[in-house]
Structure 1
Amino acid sequence: MKKTIIAGAAGAILALGAGSSLAAAPADWSKVAAKDITLFYPGVSPLEWIQKGTEHGGARALKKGETCAGCHDEEAADMGKKMVSGQKIEPTPIAGKAASIPVKVQAAHDGSNLYLRFSWKQPAASGAPKMDEKNPVKIAFMLESGGKVALADESGCWASCHLDSRTMPGAADTKTKYVKEASLADGRYYDLHQWRSGENKGYDGYVADKRVMEGGSALVSAEGKQDGDNWTVVFTRKFTGGEGDVALEAGKTYNFGFAIHDDNAHGRFHHVSLGYKLGIDAKADVTAAKQ
């Protein structure tokens, strides 16, 4: 695995690359359609909370199969304001923390590799103590195939977030994200990819009965660039991989969600997306068309 740092006047490009040298992201991303998705600060809203009708008004709709994005897509920024301020489900608000982060998401493929590009303007720093000293920014996305994880079709990645996971109030620090009744063999898991700015490193793992950050073989590269206040991160991922890697096929869609740990945050103190669909040559919220 090769790691390079390329410095330039416009900023720094941080890259991790491995695998096929033939993999090449689109040369002109301006020709690739972009989906605007607002990430929001979620406070203490784990899977158990969104299913509790006395706390979450959408619990009944969720039981009927309606999606979180179907109800909340246009109000994500407003939800973030309520939670980041402590007005709702946040017992320890952080003064000055951003309520939401608007992100442009682009996707493409070449028949063998998926390319995902995320771009956003970095919010102002809160001034709070740094939770993750090494990494000012982390970005991760998860994929799930076929709705095998209960509620993945409706809630995206929320089925991996639980009340007893680390950094939740009163939870053990050793408990990571997990999926109930997880099974790698039966496809009940989330495929996880992450890029960390300070470590200059990409991770290829999964979330099953626990979160595993390494061991996958689908990630070819993860590259991040900061240009002033603007971030751009591009993941290159093979269609197929190893254990914990969801196999991708043209004509199919996959449950898709992502999160950004901004301002040296860790654990639940991130900004998250609702659940969306990623299509490979298939109509979806985000569609990867062949280039």
Structure 2
Amino acid sequence: MRNLMLVLGAAVFTAGSAAAVDVSSIDWSSIAAKDVTLFYPGQSSYQWLRSAEHKRADRKVKEGDSCVSCHEGEEQVLGEALVVENRLEPHPVDGKQPTVSLAVQAAYDDTNLYLRFQWETLNPYPGTAHPHWTFKDGAWEVVGAPRLDEEVWGEGLPAIYEDRLSIMLDDGSVPMFAEQGCWVSCHNGSRDMPDRAGKDAVNANPLLGGNLGRSDVRKYLPATRSDDLATWDQTLSVEEIAGIKADGGFLDLMQFRAHRSLPVGMADDGYVLEYRLTDAGTNIFGTNWDKEAKQPKYMFDAAVVGFRSRTLDQIRDLSQPSSLVVGVNTVPFDPNAGWQEGEMIPEYFVNRENASGSAADNTDVSGTWEDGKWTVVWTRALDTGNPADDKIMTAGGVYSVGFAVHDDNITTRGHHVSFPLTIGIGAEADIMAVAQ
């Protein structure tokens, strides 16, 4: 039996939750699980769904019909059709499964919503590793990338990326999310999508490059673009987008990350509006790179974990920590330590103590991987106190949700996604949270 606990070979973290009940006391065996089939979507974007290629359904989609009005119960069929080479998948990933079965359970009390997720991984190990810095030819460079990157399938770079579980949540404020789910946020021009926007074009965009300082296109909502097809570069002004956000017209996006959040018992907290953005405050992870010195900021503390770095054949060793946790298993990087060819240090670090503000709302998220299956238990405050960034929930309310799982060293569109669902806080819905 191979078992990966929250500690990841580092140290136990007390979650600091404001839970009204002890989440470990919830009897999950008494709560019915909703089996949600997630499927591989390929390059089926917002624009494609509204194009003539989406035969006989493009008109319905434009009119706001739901995806399941045509495709209810067809997740397996769609996944099998899209996971191989076809008009929506120009570069299939060898061995990619068409669907992932996600079991979802929910409970609540006066303070919190409690969620429990289970799914099986394709690989006989969890994706707790992430790209690293490696010492090569006297300098540090990145090694590892997601499977969809050409550096992996075209140039032979090793496929290294973390497993991830994402939750999109809305209270009815985002047009079409309840009917069309995450497809309202997935667009041509984005990474690994058709007509991917070039760095120079994004940098030249007044909003994306000028205001946000971005060099690529990620998730965004149609309401933030000025044309009917929500083209990536047809952005509204900063003032117009601020007005949409003030009216709650954003999607709450929370992500469990096996490398960049699990080691400190948290999940990151963000939202989707004009871009996929982190909530106000300080996130739980950062880039482990000193731009001026051109070297990592931290390395493992050998006095704590027994090593200062890893090698490519060691990063899947579940008995050892795979993440740099600041203040727990790290020391400042020593450039004079006599580094050898092939030594590797994680590209990111995790820091629970430094996380702050709305970005640090998800303080109690645990995960275990055992016998090929993840079990994630998630505590989320019904009212985070941050309505500018989060969807505030109440008992008796029903909310729209979408789930995604990133498995097998993948990111961007290589994930598996659900059609939109509803979750009821003590109310009738697809997923019904049970009072505690």
Q: Structure 2 length normalisation: TM-score?
A: 0.60
Identify, as 1 or 2, the structure richer in strand.
Answer: 1
Matched position secondary structure for 2:367 = strand
Following the alignment from structure 1 to structure 2, what is the Cα–Cα distance between the partners of residues 70 and 30? 33
Partner residue of 1:149 out of 171, 174, 188: 174
1:234 aligns to 2:377 (yes or no): yes
For 1:109 and 1:115, locate their aligned partners in 2 and report how far apart those are by CA, in whole Å: 6
Question: What is the CA–CA distance in structure 2 between the aligned matches of 1:131 and 1:240, rounded to whole Å?
Answer: 35
Matched, 1:223 2:248: no
Aligned 1:123-272 pairs, distance under 5 A:
123-124=122-123, 130-131=145-146, 135-146=161-172, 148-172=173-197, 174-182=216-224, 183-199=244-260, 200=262, 201-215=266-280, 216=358, 218-241=361-384, 242=386, 243-272=388-417
Q: Deviations over 1:68-109 (max 9, x none)?
A: 134323110111111111234111111111111011111111
Aligned sequence identity (%): 36
CA contact (8 A) 1:98 1:124 kept: no
What residue number does 2:427 align with? 282
**Residues 177 and 400 of structure 2 are in contact (CA less than 8 Å); yes or no, is this contact kept in structure 1?**
yes
Within 1, Cα distance between the matches of 2:52 and 2:35?
30
Distance 2:408 2:391 in 1: 30
Structure number, greater radius of gyration? 2
Q: Judging changes above 3 Å, is the alpha-carbon distance between structure 1 residues 66 and 180 closer, same or farther for their aligned structure 2 residues?
A: closer
Equivalent position SS for 2:78: helix
**Is contact 2:174–2:250 with CA below 8 Å preserved after alignment?**
yes
Residue by residue over 1:244-287, the C-alpha shift from the partner in whole angstroms, topping out at 9 and shown as x without a partner, is 11000111211100101101101111111111111111111111
**Is 2:53 the counterpart of 1:42?**
no
Kept in 2: contact 1:11–1:228 (CA 8 A):
no
Q: Which residue of 2 aligns with 1:4?
A: none
The answer as to whether partners of 1:16 and 1:202 remain within 8 angstroms in 2 is no
Q: Give ranges in structure 2 of 5+ residues lacking alignment.
A: 8-12, 125-143, 148-158, 198-214, 225-243, 281-357
Corresponding residue SS for 1:244: coil
Cα shift at 1:150: 2.0
Structure 1 unaligned regions, length at least 5: 1-7
Counterparts of 2:270 and 2:14, CA distance in 1: 15
CA RMSD of aligned residues (A): 2.3
Confirm or deny that 1:62 pairs with 2:78.
no
